[in-house]
Amino acid sequence: MAIRTAWVFLQRALLAVGLLMLLGLAILPRLGLYRPVTVLSGSMRPTYSPGDMIIDVPEPVSAVRVGQIISYQVPTGIHQVESHRVTRILAGGAHPVVQTQGDANNWPDPWTAKLEGATAWREVAVLPHLGSVVNALRGSAIRVAAVLIAPALLALLLLAEIWGASDKLGAGEKHGTPEENRERRERRVSRERYFGPERRVGGDRRIGRSRMPKPAIAWLAQPVSAGQAQSSGPWQSQPASD
C-alpha cells in the first residue's frame, strides 16, 4: 500500500511539474506577458550567473531609465541578445539610444544601442539554475530519451490504473455479502457484449445474440378414443372413407 501511494504521488507530481513548465515556458511567453531569458555569460555577476534564468516584462521604450537591466539585440556581430544595465541615455524620443554595461565589467559595452520598436524588455526577477535545466532539456540526448521513455511511462501509468481498478473491484467483492457479490457479478456480465453460445451466469440464462429467453412452445397431444369424434386441427389426419 505504501509503495502504491508513493507511486500515485510521484505520478501527480510529475504531471504537475510538466503542466507548470508547459504553462510557464511555452504558453504564457507567447501571449507577451513576460519573456524568459537564459544567462550564458558571467558579465552580470553577482546580480546573476551563467545558468540562471531572468524574467523580462515589456514596457514602453520611453520609460527606460538609467540603472535598469534590459534585454536587447546587440547591433554588431551576430546580433545576440544581451541583458546589461543601462548606464547612459544618449538620446531620447520614440527610439532612445542607450549605453549599457555588465555589472562584472570595468568598462561599458563597445557599442551604443538604438531601441527599435515600441517595447523594451526590462528584468524583474531571477530564477537561479533554471536556465541550465531548460538548456539540458533542449539537448539531443533528452529528445531521444523523450521519444523512447515517454511512451513507456504512459504505458506504465495505464497499467497502474488498470491494476488499481482491479484491486478495488476485488476488494469490494471480498468485503460484500455473497448475495451482493453475486448481483455485482451479474450486473458486470450483463453490461458486456456477448455473441457466443448459450451460457448460464448465476442461474440466469443468457442466450446468444439477443439475450432474450427462448419462447416456450408446448405441443400438447390429447388421446382420442375409438369411435369418438376427432376435432379438426392442422396436425391431425381425417379418417379414411370407404
pLDDT band at 16 (very low <50, low <70, confident <90, very high): confident
Question: Domains plus CATH for the chain?
Answer: 34-128 (2.10.109.10)
Summarize pLDDT for 36-62 with one digit per residue, the tens: 999 999 999 999 999 999 999 999 999
At 139, give phi and psi (nearest 5°). -70, 160
**Is the separation of the CB atoms in 136 and 53 below 8 Å?**
no
**Is the separation of the CB atoms in 53 and 123 below 8 Å?**
no
Can you give the pLDDT at residue 147?
Answer: 60
Can you give the pLDDT at residue 237?
Answer: 42
pLDDT band at 146 (very low <50, low <70, confident <90, very high): low
**Is the separation of the CB atoms in 63 and 120 below 8 Å?**
yes
**Is the separation of the CB atoms in 106 and 91 below 8 Å?**
no
Between 81 and 225, the more confident residue is: 81
User: Which of 70-74, 145-149, 150-154 is the least confident region?
Assistant: 145-149
